[in-house]
Structure 1
Amino acid sequence: MVFSVKTYNNINQVGLKELGNHFQIDGDLKENPDAYIIRSENLHDVTFPDNLKAIARAGAGTNNIPIDKATEAGIVVFNTPGANANAVKEAVIASILMSARDYISAYDWTNQLTGADVPKQVEAGKKQFAGTEISGKTLGVIGLGAIGARIANDARRLGMKVLGYDPYVSIETAWNISSHVKRVDELRDIFENSDYITIHVPLTDDTRHTFNSDSFALMNKGTTIINFARGELVDNQALFDALETGVVKRYITDFGTEELLNKEGITVFPHVGGSTAEAELNCAIMAGQTIRRFMETGEITNSVNFPNMHQALTAPYRITLINKNVPNIVAAISTAVSDLDINIANILNRSKGDYAYTLLDLDETDRSKVDKLAALFETSDHIVKVRLIANPK
């Protein structure tokens, strides 16, 4: 079977080779693809085609995808966490160093000098750019995921004291964080004790305006804020007030808006934190692998709206079901299978919020019986999407 994939935003072609020979990419693509692979394309005003089964975001953030809308339509949304982590880590470390030494202002000033006595002017004016060293200073890291953990570890290697806050850090990530990184239980500990603060959390109702008038009030004068996560994590008006009073020395962000531009103490980059050749390749590879695995086996890895599901396909047929998370749904599925005199080889059902995902492996070689079962599931009010996958072996 050949699957169709529509790509947006110039996905790395080497990474797309991970899809293999059973995937048709763009080119002669029909209007109703099986999957999207995107980067920054805004899908909030897009009408999803009926055949669309998956969307892979080649990156970690999914704010450009209407998750609730996709879930209701039975579309699994994937991201690629960690694929650009090293690129963002390096951007943040560079930002800390640039802030400490004010290299950007120094560069701008030097390049405005003219005349044969430039060396003399440099010597006379360089004192205004005397900075500080980061060794011995305290870095607060909010969010100890793939990016935050790397920043914390490398900042320690550069001689910084590091405080980390993340109430949801995974066990796997926790093992990779240096024992010298001090974990704190309250955000106020980060605000009160840090010379530099960097944030790496998704944008949610809880994290919006993490930096606000209350949090700025807890900080020491001269704090540097670095935001390579999401612009809306900062209340801009509160930031402007904190800059005016000297509480915030510098704000460095990768998310530009008009009100942030050309303001003293604010450095805005054009959303390039994860834009390296290596990161773009890693994201494309991970997105390709994710879509291929899902389309060929129904297994889910790194979905933001459905649970991870892994079950080796050894039976002749597999039916995947996206269903509403209602009582007795598994019993109803099992009864339907039994009524058609089909044996269940394996069944795995997990929920996430209001919806659940089921891998139903059938010990049945009669395709007509399996088709009849799939058609029966299609009529259920509680089942949103049905897929039938034949074992190629």
Structure 2
Amino acid sequence: MYQVKLYNKISKQGLDKLDPAKYTYSEDLTDYDAVLVRSAKLHDVEFPKDLKCIARAGAGVNNIPIDKCSEQGIVVFNTPGANANAVKELVICALLLASRKIVQGVNWVKGLKGTPDIGPAAEKGKATYAGPEISGKRLGVIGLGAIGVKVANAAIGLDMDVWGYDPYLSVDGALQLSRSVRHVTDLNELLANCDYITIHVPLTPDTRNTINAESIEKMKDGVRVINLARGELVDVEAMAKALESGKVAAYVSDFASDCILAQENAITLPHLGASTPESEDNCAEMAVYEITEYLEKGTIRNSVNFPNLKVPYEGGYRICMIHRNIPNMIASITAAVRCNIENMGNRSRGDYAYTIVDTAEPPTEANLEDLRAIDGMISVRAL
């Protein structure tokens, strides 16, 4: 019986995919094989020795100690694309909020409560909150992953002229991207030519503060910027100065900061990007699928720290090994197995690699101990 530790509230639609004959789950477990988590911070958690995998029901994994997990042979999954539609819809909303001063207008009308002839009084103020239409304007999409592609295609449907930038555009992304989207290879070209800019990239040391004082200076005067991806992608102090000067006409963010909240033309949302019941269900279902595939078959998909690998499994004898990506590992593994190998798969990713071996006979405990003793081996388990 596999034990699954829950952090945060996980959608019942996802948890219902756990076979009760094989799995138990609870927030109170102390020894467990897998973790399902949303936003809870795990950096200070002491993981049990039997923990094999963590699945984040969402895209970002900043709340998980990736390096620590890698060293302990714990596979970390995320759920790319599961919340893409929810974020896409909020980006479209943000485009309109940035243009039409809707929030400012709503707040002004609320302040008229108790005013005689409130209807005409409210209408008299409408000129203050006028704003441009988005149709015919140029939108720059930085990052063409699952969300960026959906945003770009939706904006095409709204008659916007869409430019996209992504030096790592995948084949799948390219196939899904509308032919009407102009794919540029120079970020500066996008910055200089777009009326609206939205960013959809993961937070890494290289992408932190992608939008900063220097990049803002390259943008058009009166540009409108949207960030529903990660707060740290934008230098908020530089953005605040740009809003004060009028260089940036409006900024819509899903991440609160004091200096941005003080700006009249900034709209800050309480991290609503993936806050839909459909998104929570999709993320939970994908996360559950990832951990069950790994625990039962050894399949790794959507891992952020180890290579993805799927070897067809017919329910025989299987050994799954996480190890360092160093020379002669495969030769050492096959020598230690000491029985007929019927099938085998191996993939590497940076400093780490993953190997699956299917054998004709069940591996003995001595075989497994020999495998664990190989220099560079991190974890070994038999299915």
SS of 2:125 mapped into structure 1: helix
Alignment of 1:101-140 (within 5 A): 101-113=100-112, 114-140=114-140
Give the equivalent residue in structure 2 for 1:357: 354
What SS class does the counterpart of residue 164 from structure 2 fall into? Answer: strand
Match of 1:205 in 2: 205
| Aligned partner letter, 1:7 | L
Q: Partners in 2 of 1:38 and 1:312 — Cα distance? A: 28
* 2:160 alignment counterpart: 160
1:383 aligns with 2:380: no
Aligned partners of 1:171 and 1:370: how far apart in 2?
Answer: 43
Contact 1:142 1:164 in 2 (8 A): yes
Whether the aligned pair in 2 keeps the contact of 1:95 and 1:226 (CA below 8 Å) is yes
Aligned to 2:194: 194
Partner SS state of residue 156, structure 1: helix
State the identity %.
Answer: 49
Query: CA contact under 8 A between 1:80 and 1:287: conserved in structure 2?
Result: yes
Which residue number in structure 2 is paired with residue 87 of structure 1? Answer: 86
- What residue is the counterpart of 1:246 in the other structure? 246
Correspondence for 1:18? 17
- Give the structure 2 partner of residue 297 of structure 1: 297
What pairs with 1:36-51 in structure 2 (closer than 5 Å)?
A: 36-51=35-50
Kindly provide the CA deviation profile for residues 268-312 of structure 1, in whole angstroms up to 9, marking residues without a partner as x: 111111010000000000001111110000001110111111111
Match of 1:370 among 342, 364, 367: 364
Structural mapping, 1:52-67, within 5 Å: 52-67=51-66
The aligned amino acid for 1:375 is: E
The more displaced of 376-385 and 267-276 is 376-385
**CA-CA distance at 1:377 after TM superposition:** 1.3
Structure 2 residues not aligned, in runs of 5+: none
Misfit runs of 4+, over 4 Å: none
Q: Alignment partner of 2:274: what SS?
A: coil
Letter of the 2:84 partner, please give it: A
Partners of 1:57 and 1:80 within 8 A in 2: yes
TM superposition shift of 1:381:
3.1
Instruction: Kindly provide the amino acid, as one letter, of the partner of residue 258 in structure 2.
Output: E
Residues in 1 aligned to 2:260 and 2:43: alpha-carbon distance in whole angstroms: 25
Structure 1 residue 315: Cα displacement: 6.2
- Residue number in structure 2 paired with 1:142: 142
Deviation of residue 123 (structure 1)? Answer: 2.7
Unaligned runs of 5+ in 1: none
Q: Which amino acid aligns with 2:41?
A: N
Deviation, structure 1 residue 125: 1.3
Q: Is the 8 A contact 1:323 1:357 kept in 2?
A: yes
Which AA in structure 1 matches 2:125? G
What amino acid is the match of 2:53? A
CA deviation after TM superposition for structure 1 residue 348, in Å: 0.9
For residues 33 and 13 of structure 2, the distance between their equivalents in structure 1, rounded to whole angstroms, comes to 21
Partner of 1:72: 71
Distance in 2 separating the partners of 1:168 and 1:99? 28
More displaced 10-residue stretch of structure 1: 116-125 or 156-165? 116-125
Q: CA deviation at 1:241?
A: 1.7
Rate the CA distance shift 1:74–1:199 in 2: closer, same or farther, 3 A.
same
| Residue 30 of structure 1: how far off its partner (Å) | 4.2
Q: Match of 1:362, as an amino acid?
A: T
**Which SS does the other structure have where 1:169 is aligned?**
coil
**Amino acid in structure 1 at the alignment position of 2:347:** R
TM-score, normalisation: structure 1 = 0.95
1:271 aligns with 2:292: no
For the pair 1:98 / 2:92, whether they are aligned, the reply is: no
State the shift of 1:266 in Å.
Answer: 1.4
Shift of 1:370: 3.0
Q: What amino acid is the match of 2:240? A: F
Letter in 2 for 1:63: N
Find the aligned partners of 2:40 and 2:57 in 1 and give their Cα distance.
11
Secondary structure at the counterpart of residue 19 of structure 1: coil
Count of aligned residue pairs for this structure pair = 381
Distance in 2 between the 1:259 and 1:134 partners?
A: 27
SS of 1:82's equivalent in the other structure is coil
State the partner residue of 1:347.
344
SS at match of 1:197: strand
* Aligned residue type for 1:349: N
Report the Cα distance in structure 2 between the residues aligned to 1:262 and 1:276, rounded to whole angstroms: 28
> Do 2:236 and 2:257's aligned partners in 1 also have CA atoms closer than 8 Å?
no
One-letter amino acid of the structure 2 residue matched with residue 370 of structure 1? T
TM-score in terms of structure 2 length: 0.97
Residue identity opposite 2:158 in structure 1: L
